[in-house]
Amino acid sequence: MVWNSQVKKTYEDTKAQLYISGGTERLAREHEKGKLTARERMAMLFDNKVYSEINMLVKSRTSLEDLHKKTYLGDGVIACYGKINGITAYAVAQDCTISGGAGGEAHVQKICQTLELALKTKSPFICLCDSGGAKIEEGIISLSAYSKLFYLNTQASGYIPQIAAIMGNCAGGSSYSPAMCDYIFMVKNTSQFFITGPRVIKELTGEVITMEDLGGSEVHSQYSGVANFVCENDAECIQEIKKLLNYTCIKEKPFKITIRNNYKELGRKIEEIVTENARHSYDVRQVISCLVDEESFFEISSNFGRNIVIGFCRLDGKTTGIVANQPCVLGGAIDCDASDKCARFVRFCDSFEIPLLIMIDVPGFYPGAAEEKKGILRHGSKMLYAFSEATIPKISLIMRKAYGGAYCAMNSKASGADMVYAWPICEIAVMGAEGAVDVMYNKQIKQAENPTEFRQEKIDSYKEKYLNPYFAASLGMVDEVILPEETREKIIQAFDALKNKEIKVYSKKHGNIPL
């Protein structure tokens, strides 16, 4: 017996309702703003635009449904699974053309069910956020659903990668879940991300502020540090998400030039970048590009805490995390923002078994009353804690300066580095020679016949005896002094030797990181 035409018509009409979302006019308005629709985003995210939906036809079903002007199939969110870069992934995309993307009970439960499936299958979870917040008409029922989502975000943390993209408004209750994700993307001009919007702020405090100044991409990428990436448009945002997944989920993949044989040429280039003059500034990203597989460095949070550089790369085709001091910003000194940025990245790498290369050129923690009031002791302790806690292979390379407590915080040998390499020009000490001599010989300098000459003699003597990698190596703090041209090969060999590393972890519920 052949199915009657009405059955097929009902099916086709139902599908048609899904694809027009909140109406063709609203879809057109999104395009006018330079935004893609929720379904266009999903199609772009998954390989070959192929994905399967979860709870596709769900509608709002709360006891307060009579307050709704209209209910919609899917309740304003698309939940899917499919392949991204050949890897199974789960994703949700909020549809702002339906009730402004506001999250009611059914809406949020769809997100929860998708995240639960990602947890069951140990697959990455991506949330494309475009929501004005919780549905006010659903009251505490909506809030209860969001509470479950926050609980699941916590359970998923460190178990599967969680990635959020703010691709429109993300406010109120909707803002907490993406804030709990591992990485957050924003789009210039069309993304706004905040707990309380300008209208409510004006009513409560009298402050008048635009949405962009309150929670735009510049605010969160440069000042709050909430956003890790800022993209020009929706299409670029989705491509960058896929690129990030390429590192976090595909641990080994060849790049353009995996094995480099021009070590001497690279060594000469590094020597030109990192000069013997400890006061000479340089961009550490140029050094990174010399050591890693060609064009493989993927920087994270490039606009926040710029005095430290973090990101993923390939070394001989294998995913590796990099933490590096940045001498061209604050001389590479570590402040509160850099500490937070570094510690969170180290803990991510440790959670997902990604080995770490730490590149050190640090004069110390950034001094001053402002940093002390901000809590540099607490923030700096996060770095010490994260490196010490991490059980992944960790290799440190001391390029030039390694002074004081900042050297300890950058994963010294005693802090848990498995291997420590040093270039011949590096200086490892509590502080620079000038400062050390001024403290140690203060009285003698004042009493000397020629104070300037006496001080310089002591500085030269201190540098010769102590301010070099060979003294540190004689004490077992450096495993090997190497030339820049040897560095890439040494690091690759060391990581290969450490790939089966195991470490005893003290049995306890968990530590208490100084948050």
Digit-coded pLDDT (tens) for 428-478: 988 778 888 888 888 888 888 888 888 888 888 888 888 889 999 999 999
| Pick from 263, 506, 243, 287: nearest CA to 397 | 287
Percent of the chain topping pLDDT 70: 95
Digit-coded pLDDT (tens) for 63-80: 554 555 677 777 889 999
- Give the lowest-confidence range in 138-142, 170-174, 181-185, 406-410: 138-142
Average pLDDT over residues 76-99: 94
The answer on pLDDT for 506 being more than 60 is yes
Domain with CATH 3.90.226.10 in the chain: 11-248, 263-431+468-497
CB count, 10 Å around CB of 119? 16
Average pLDDT over residues 15-30: 77
CA 329 to CA 367: how far, in whole Å?
A: 14
The answer on pLDDT for 349 being more than 60 is yes
Digit-coded pLDDT (tens) for 95-138: 988 888 888 888 999 999 999 999 999 999 999 999 888 777 77
| Pick from 327, 251, 315: nearest CA to 289 | 315
* pLDDT tier, 492 (very low <50, low <70, confident <90, very high otherwise): very high
* pLDDT tier, 259 (very low <50, low <70, confident <90, very high otherwise): low
CA 428 to CA 502: how far, in whole Å?
A: 29
The answer on pLDDT for 279 being more than 90 is no
pLDDT recorded at residue 260: 61
Average pLDDT over residues 157-165: 97
pLDDT recorded at residue 60: 78
Going by their DSSP bridges, the two strands 356-362 and 318-325 should be labelled as parallel
Q: What is the dihedral of CA 44, 45, 51, 52, to 10 degrees?
A: -120
- Residue of 139, 158, 267, 405 marked catalytic: 405
Check if 173 is active-site: yes
Helix (H, G, I), strand (E, B) or coil at 163: strand
CB count, 10 Å around CB of 259? 11
Count CA atoms within 13 Å of residue 511 on its CB side. Answer: 12
Check if 23 is active-site: no
pLDDT recorded at residue 196: 85
Q: What is the DSSP letter of 398?
A: E
pLDDT recorded at residue 255: 55
Percent of the chain topping pLDDT 90: 63
- Residue of 324, 338, 402, 406 marked catalytic: 406
Check if 74 is active-site: no
CA 495 to CA 395: how far, in whole Å?
A: 8
- Residue of 82, 100, 104, 173 marked catalytic: 173
Cβ(153)–Cβ(181) below 8 Å: yes
State the helix-helix crossing angle for 263-273 and 284-291, rounded to 10 degrees: 170
Tallying the residues shown for the chain, one arrives at 515
| Long-range CB contacts for residues 258-261, cutoff 8 Å, separation at least 24 | 258/293, 258/314, 258/316, 258/317, 259/316, 260/293, 260/294, 260/488
Cβ(114)–Cβ(153) below 8 Å: no
CA angle 222–227–232, rounded 5-degree value: 85
Check if 206 is active-site: no
CA 208 to CA 447: how far, in whole Å?
A: 62
| Superfamily of the domain at 263-431+468-497 | 2-enoyl-CoA Hydratase; Chain A, domain 1 (3.90.226.10)
Using left for φ > 0, alpha for ψ between -120 and 50, and beta otherwise, residue 397 falls in beta
| Superfamily of the domain at 11-248 | 2-enoyl-CoA Hydratase; Chain A, domain 1 (3.90.226.10)
Query: Between 252 and 493, whose confidence is greater?
Result: 493
pTM: 0.92
CA 364 to CA 330: how far, in whole Å?
A: 10
| Pick from 101, 108, 115, 188: nearest CA to 154 | 115
Cβ(240)–Cβ(231) below 8 Å: yes
Amino acid letter, 94: Q
